[in-house]
Amino acid sequence: MHDAPLLNINGLEAFYGDVQVLWGVSLEVNPGEIVAVIGPNGAGKSTLLGCIMGLVKSRSSGSGPAVLYQGEALDGQKPEEVVAGGIALVPEGARVFPEMTCLDNLLLGAYLNKDRQQRQEVLEQVLGMFPRLKERVNQPAKTMSGGERQMLAIGRALMSRPDFLLLDEPSLGLHPLMTSTIFEGIQSINQQGLTVLLVEQKVTFALKMSDRGYVLEQGRVKLSASGEELMHDSYVKEAYLAV
């Protein structure tokens, strides 16, 4: 028996200006899960994450709030309020500050935490999780590889000590070996109790490590099942795994 879902999305509709991008999307994420959202480019996957973070205008097609986190409505909250509530987003494309060192980028992620000792403890945890970052700690981010910058972006998000991590295409542009390293990092974060919602193009990787998955197409949820079931679903195989 699960506790109540950590995140509950109900009949979510999203808009860019007057253009509707999501239609009646419902999904849930339980505490401690990794949940994957897969689908083609332009399906609305990043928009979904933007709605959770309060970055995209959204509403519910039904009654009640569209986005509930720990039972509280996130509708209408500002992004900084969402972050303060324990959610962190790692946006697509490893956005880090290129001129700043690896360490300063990480510390920026902890700006809400005034407790110096706690910041140091979290920093040590993050560097333990991504030894590559430890080696690069005093280098400017611009001298780091794409994969290292992605680790840095994830590490920076973890510095805010979130309960719930949203990842948008963490493997984008990375070679397979680095993709494996990033995904191992995500699994180890999850094993330490962090709940993860993962938007990802590399479908096999994403489904293998996910408890459950949703297929999003043209702004609507087409399928949802366990990661294992989706891996073996004939539609998913044909559309996404080219089997």
Alpha carbon distance 231, 234 (integer Å) = 8
8 Å CB contact between 35 and 211: yes
The ranges assigned to domains in the chain are 1-77+200-243
- Which residue type sits at 155? G
Q: How confident is the model at residue 242 (pLDDT cuts 50, 70, 90)?
A: confident
What confidence tens digit (pLDDT) does each residue in 54-86 have?
999 888 988 889 999 999 999 989 998 998 899
Q: Note the pLDDT of residue 1.
A: 44
DSSP, res 141: G
Say if pTM beats, i.e. exceeds, 0.85. yes
Alpha carbon distance 206, 211 (integer Å) = 10
The CATH number of domain 1-77+200-243 is 3.40.50.300: yes
Q: Note the pLDDT of residue 243.
A: 57
Alpha carbon distance 16, 56 (integer Å) = 7
Whole-angstrom distance between the N-terminal and C-terminal Cα of the chain?
35
Length of the chain: 243
What confidence tens digit (pLDDT) does each residue in 30-61 have?
999 999 999 998 899 999 999 999 999 888 98
Q: Using CB atoms within 10 A of its CB, is residue 99 exposed (0-12), middle (13-18) or buried (19+)?
A: exposed
Tokens standing for residue 66:
């569209």
